[in-house]
Amino acid sequence: MNDIVYSAEMGSGAFANGKQIRVSSNDKLGRSLLATGFAYNVKENPQNSFEKFTAVTKSARAVRRLGSAALDICHVAKGIYDGFWEINLRPWDVCAGMIISKEAGGTVTDFSGKEIDIYSKQILVTNGKVTERLLKLLSNN
């Protein structure tokens, strides 16, 4: 839609249309622009989705919901967002974004801070500087 192609190769950095990208340097959650999405069974409120959304929204500058986890993760890699979280995603939602964000200097964990794989049911992608505060909010709800 925006004529931007994100790419990365392990150990070679992350790129948007061939130009190297990096995560943001913001270290204040109160100044953070974040993104999230909701699982398709959101009415059942899996893993306290609404409570997590409320807790994070009250602590951040703003939270956006665009509807594309893959694009949200790339926006963290490019420094547009400072973080992204969601549950119950599929491998095709996170596979490319995980390597792109890591190569751009980001961190990718579950809500307890553990390393994840493409089949994990939780994902938190950040610039690495707001990770600990988001982990506290996401693990307590």
What DSSP element (H or E) covers 95? helix 91-103
pLDDT digits (tens, 9 = 90+) for 122-136: 999 999 999 999 999
Separation of alpha carbons 41 and 34, rounded Å: 22
Query: Residue 123 is which amino acid?
Result: I
**pLDDT above 70: residue 121:** yes
> Could you tell me if 64 and 115 are in contact, meaning their C-beta atoms sit under 8 angstroms apart?
no
pLDDT digits (tens, 9 = 90+) for 54-102: 999 999 999 999 889 999 999 999 999 999 999 999 999 999 999 999 9
pLDDT for res 46 = 61
Of residues 127, 126, 108, the one with CA closest to residue 117: 108
pLDDT for res 5 = 97
pLDDT for res 3 = 93
Domain boundary assignment for the chain: 6-139
pLDDT for res 141 = 62
Separation of alpha carbons 68 and 58, rounded Å: 23
Mean pLDDT of the chain: 93
Q: At the topology level of CATH, where does 6-139 sit?
A: D-Maltodextrin-Binding Protein; domain 2 (3.40.190)
Confidence of residue 47 (pLDDT cuts 50, 70, 90): confident
- Is the whole model's pTM more than 0.85, yes or no? yes
